Chains A and B, each alone.
Chain A
């Protein structure tokens, strides 16, 4: 069971490593938002510090959304997706491996890059740790939920718009609690409650999303 998980994860990571453009794209988007925001709105430090939690979280969310389109596309196009579904091994583990690889190539680098952008947006230093932790947990949830929408639309010619429509309602709770956690840290309030809820959402999607991803992939491949 774990063998197929590692097989799929290592293959996806190797492919991502060889096609660096695919996973640099969301990171560059994330960077661009943080760079352009002060130019477009106001470079005043106290104003930026006020909006930084929201801006960082929204741009991380949109960067994840941007990368969802390609999650299953290439596997679907070259036929390896149907070979995966013909494997007698558990499709749950395969789906989990795919979502996990997506998180390692988007969510993880986004969370690691966030402190740098937080400094650029004058986020108070006491909130940076919370920002990274909330992004680490939050983006993992976003990857798992997004993979469901990506799997559902992979067979369609223009699935991009549909993915956003399907996934935004599921993303909103993650955004609210993620951004609130960082805001609380800025204000010096306790953050554990927010992080606990983010963790609960992550645990729930970790257990249930792979079933939905696997079922969606079957539907997409059988059309």
Chain B
């Protein structure tokens, strides 16, 4: 099935000629195991912004990210994507979303190259012609044909991170990266390069939501949101 790309900009503008925010969260409420993770949580995310989600362990960062991905539905409140209900727009939304979760999300029985080829096929926002370039960007040049089970933990995560270097530049204004602890198991040099890549992506109009316990040295302006302020103690 060919996904028809609609002229997003025209559709997603509000009547006043001002572009609606890429994501708008209104009065979000979520509880897990009888503990309120957050309530009345509201924020907006404009195109080109970086949102750093903070909070202690168990404060609901991952839950919030999974809600924003459309993977977790046990919540109350509204989420809007360019002013429209997210639940109605999932197909458009998912064709511009890259989610990087807790798990490695890499098949150990496949090589780095096979993993990324598969990703490029199921996620059309990834450009398959950029695979080898992406692998060398994440420092895995020469490991293309190595099975991922023979790679180290950090290298496996780098295979997954290589997706961030395969983003098609055509619809970058609508792209959203949701990164859950992207720096886990990555060395200092790698973290630095990744931070640079993230700010470059944001500078060219891409939008990022990320959680990390590391100090971010991003050059661009970052919005911060601490989930500890929104839950009940």
Closest Cβ neighbor of B96 among chain A residues: A88
Chain B residues near A191 (CB-CB < 8 A): none
A78 with B107, Cβ < 8 A, contacts A3-B121, A89-B124, A222-B74 known: yes
| Interface of chain A: mostly helix, strand, loop or mixed | helix
**Which residue in A19, A82, A84, A88 is a CB contact (below 8 Å) of B124?**
A88
CB-CB under 8 A for A86 and B97, given A79-B103, A80-B105: yes
Most A CB contacts (10 A, CB to CB) among B1, B69, B73 go to: B1
Closest chain A CB from B218 CB (angstroms): 25
Judge whether B95 and A11 touch: CB under 8 Å: no
Q: Are B114 and A14 in contact (CB under 8 A)?
A: yes
Interface string of B105-125 (1 = CB under 8 A from A): 111111000100011011110
Instruction: A88 to B71: give the CA distance in the assembly, Å.
Output: 13
Question: Is B72 interfacial (CB 8 A cutoff)?
Answer: yes
Q: Is the CB of B110 within 8 A of A78?
A: no
Q: Do A79 and B124 have beta carbons less than 8 Å apart?
A: no
Complexed CA–CA distance, A79 and B104 (Å): 7
Bound together, the chains give a CA A94 to CA B103 distance in angstroms of 21
Least Cβ distance of A25 to chain B in Å?
Answer: 16
| Among candidates B95, B107, B122, residue contacting A15 with C-beta atoms closer than 8 Å | B107
- Could you tell me if A11 and B3 are in contact, using CB atoms closer than 8 angstroms? no
Give the number of A-B contacts (CB < 8 Å).
77
**Chain B residues near A88 (CB-CB < 8 A):** 3, 91-92, 94-95, 123-124
Asked if B12 is at the interface of the complex by the 8 Å CB criterion, the answer is no
Question: Which residue on B lies nearest to A89, using beta carbons?
Answer: B122
**B119 and A11: CB pair below 8 A?**
no
- Across the interface, A86 reaches (CB within 8 A) one of B1, B73, B94, namely B94
- Number of B residues near A (Cβ < 8 Å) is 32
Residues in B160-186 with C-beta less than 8 Å from chain A: none
In the complex, what's the smallest C-beta–C-beta distance from B85 to chain A, in angstroms? 17
In the bound assembly, the distance between CA atoms of A3 and B70 in angstroms comes to 23
A42 at interface, CB cutoff 8 A: no
Instruction: Decide if B102 is an interface residue (CB 8 Å cutoff).
Output: yes
Closest to A85 in B: B71
Instruction: Mark each residue of chain A from 71 to 107: 1 if its CB lies under 8 Å from any CB of chain B, else 0.
Output: 0000001111011111111100010000000000000
Q: List 23 A-B contacts (CB under 8 A).
A: A1-B1, A7-B122, A11-B114, A14-B110, A14-B114, A78-B108, A79-B102, A79-B103, A79-B105, A80-B106, A80-B107, A82-B71, A82-B101, A83-B105, A85-B71, A87-B123, A88-B91, A88-B124, A89-B3, A90-B1, A222-B66, A222-B73, A222-B74
Contact surface of B with A, Cβ cutoff 8 Å? 1, 3, 66, 69-74, 91-92, 94-95, 97, 99, 101-110, 114, 118-119, 121-124
Task: List the 3 shortest-distance A-B pairs measured between CB atoms, nearest first.
Answer: A79-B103, A7-B121, A1-B1
